[in-house]
Structure 1
Amino acid sequence: MSIVAGMDDDSIATPGAPAPEATGHRPVLLHPLIESLQPRPGLTYIDGTLGAGGYVAAFLERLRPGGRILAIDRDPAAVASARRRFRADAGTVIVEHGDFADMASIAAAHNVTAVDGVVLDLGISSLQLDDPARGFSFRFDGPLDMRMDGNSDVPASDLVQQWSQADLTALIRTYGEERFAPSIAAAIVRRRSEEPITTTAQLREIVERTIPRRFWPKRIHPATRTFQALRIEVNHELASLTLGLQAAIRILRPGGRLGVVSFHSLEDTIVKNALHVSAQNCLCPPQQTHCTCAHRASLLLLSRKAIKADAAELASNPRARSARLRVAEKLDDVR
């Protein structure tokens, strides 16, 4: 997608800071991603998280002539915008609405059964953050929605209004990694007994009032983790990521490469573990003397550690500091 949206991101920083989207669309870790996935003329790629189309535009330049890129996004607004942007390249860029977890069936509909590369950028899109009506950012007052696809699932306001205090505590603690989760959940329950909580401004105020000022994070707004937790739950992001990684590995042809950019520890842990497991020839317990699992590696890890933004990128785009890129290559004779 278009910008970093991790918990260290200035796009969700303390109110009063300049809106980062005003500086324009800048996909993070673009150069290491291009170097790692090696797009060339005639090859076929999938961008499972189209967003504002920054990666697609960069790949497009390198895939001509004869190459194709299938771009997928859950957000109808992102799909509509990309179709306008890339309408002159309709033969090279295929834009589809859908979840990247379903990339195999979406690709099959276009007679694509194997690809040379897959990119997943798990950051939230500037298209979503910029629109107050979407309810993703607490920089604006808008409905507490957060749905990437407004035609599916339930808005964040339903969770805030209907979930028990215990469930809200678990959600904010687990998906937001928020130490003040019990207090925030209790404050939500108290507030909703007085009036419905339906806007981003209401939730932001609740969190601001709940977390003691001396414990506010230095680089992010105190409501960041709570908003993140609700967004993840509303869009089933972690479940979709797990399925999407499996789908990406299956659809790669031997020698094809997968690049995943993540922005917070929950995502990165899932990516790291999935790639690590797929790179192992045996998953039996270490104390077991003979392998009985029959598991065989399907990936080669191209870097043991995540790739981070270099000093030059951080200087021009500080929001890239929370981005992590992991890359793996599909091994031969494994599908």
Structure 2
Amino acid sequence: MEFKHTSVLLHETIDNLKPKNDGLYVDATFGGGGHASYLLSKLERGTLIGFDQDEYAIKSAKLNFTDLLQANSNPRLELVHDNFSHLQKNLVELGYTDGIDGIYYDLGVSSPQFDQAGRGFSYRFDARLDMRMDQSQTLDAYQLVNNSSQKDLAAILYKYGDEKFSRQIARKIVERRQVKPVETTFELVDLIKEAIPAYARRTGGHPAKKTFQALRVAVNHELDVLRESLEEAIKLLKPNGRISVITFQSDEDKIVKNIFKKYSEVEVPRGMPMIPDSMKPTLRLVNRKPIVASDKELDDNNRSHSAKLRVAEKL
């Protein structure tokens, strides 16, 4: 299976890293390798470590980047099949212990994951409820939908999907479960449509969009692992190293914004004559406001409409 994906904010994400010819960089969300290809074109002697928890992405990358992966004793690309919340552990195992010159994230679900019907990510295809980015993990959407309490289901839909009919949808799911398990994406879509009032279904896009997003985020612990990974990435950056993060949801962007703010701002007590090193900021914001797609990219790639890029530099 070929893992093709149109990269969003390609040049903005990589160019803002200011790549060095001999630098060490991390692609936290390798996917189809679009950002990786562009970055590698700028590295003469540098190395890129590509992380992805999706085994399909890793298998595809091994086919598409064969030459770079087999470059004698000094490969320009190394792949890691793991979640990006385990950055340091994997870098140490690979022998990289002196920090990194840059790292970038392209968050959310990639196009191939949505387009593979059997993965259960999309309400457009009928498939078993799954939604796991890492196929080796136990928890999937089927378990979440069929084993969570009505209260917990409603909380998930509201917290991660901003679904205002979360209680009605959760109630409908639990009612159906008493007869038989909810097994497929289309079964879930039908329940959502039954739960949402007719007037609400006529506006705001597909009625199942928010519920599917919420379940996917919960299954993959997306927000928790993002927080963990950003904290770790900032510590791993060398001085003048940079971090670029593309988000597609407001909750993701809020996490990135707040963590960047935490490390780039300091509160100095009034009357303190000088700031001790322990209180100096760790990061400098490269862009105060998020970078968004150009009009041309918006026309060419629909996925770019909700994309926001934030960049920071290690001091």
Q: TM-score, normalised by structure 1?
A: 0.86
**Cα separation, 1, equivalents of 2:55 and 2:147:** 27
Q: State the match for 1:16 in structure 2.
A: none
Q: Which moved more, 1:100-109 or 1:35-44?
A: 35-44
Q: Which amino acid aligns with 1:190?
A: E
CA RMSD of aligned residues (A): 2.0
Q: State the match for 2:72 in structure 1.
A: none
> Is 1:274 matched with 2:259?
yes
> Is 1:232 matched with 2:211?
no
Deviations 1:250-306 (A, max 9, x none): 11100010000000111111111000001022388xxx88799x5431100011111
1:187 to 166, 169, 172: 172
Deviation at 1:226, TM superposition (A): 0.6
Where 2:49 maps in the other structure, the secondary structure is: strand
1:75 to 49, 54, 70: 54
**Cα separation, 1, equivalents of 2:164 and 2:202:** 12
Unpaired runs of 5+ residues, structure 1, are: 1-20
> Is 1:35 matched with 2:15?
yes
Deviations 1:15-73 (A, max 9, x none): xxxxxx9xx6310011211221122421111001111111111111111x201100001
> Is 1:148 matched with 2:148?
no
Deviation at 1:162, TM superposition (A): 1.0
Deviations 1:192-229 (A, max 9, x none): 11221011111111112222232237563211111111
Runs of 4+ in structure 1 deviating by more than 2 angstroms, as ranges, are 216-220, 281-284, 288-292
**Cα separation, 2, equivalents of 1:311 and 1:149:** 34
Q: State the match for 2:95 in structure 1.
A: 111
Unpaired runs of 5+ residues, structure 2, are: 70-74
> Is 1:49 matched with 2:29?
yes
**Cα separation, 2, equivalents of 1:108 and 1:161:** 39
**Cα separation, 1, equivalents of 2:114 and 2:184:** 15
**Cα separation, 2, equivalents of 1:176 and 1:237:** 13
Higher relative contact order (CA 8 A, sep 6+): 1
Q: Which amino acid aligns with 1:72?
A: F
**Cα separation, 1, equivalents of 2:112 and 2:302:** 19
Q: Percent identity?
A: 40
> Is 1:94 matched with 2:78?
yes
**Cα separation, 1, equivalents of 2:85 and 2:149:** 30
**Aligned counterparts, 1:159-238, within 5 A:** 159-216=144-201, 218=203, 220-238=205-223
Q: State the match for 1:328 in structure 2.
A: 312
1:314 to 255, 273, 298: 298
Q: State the match for 1:18 in structure 2.
A: none
Q: State the match for 2:281 in structure 1.
A: 297
1:257 to 226, 233, 242: 242
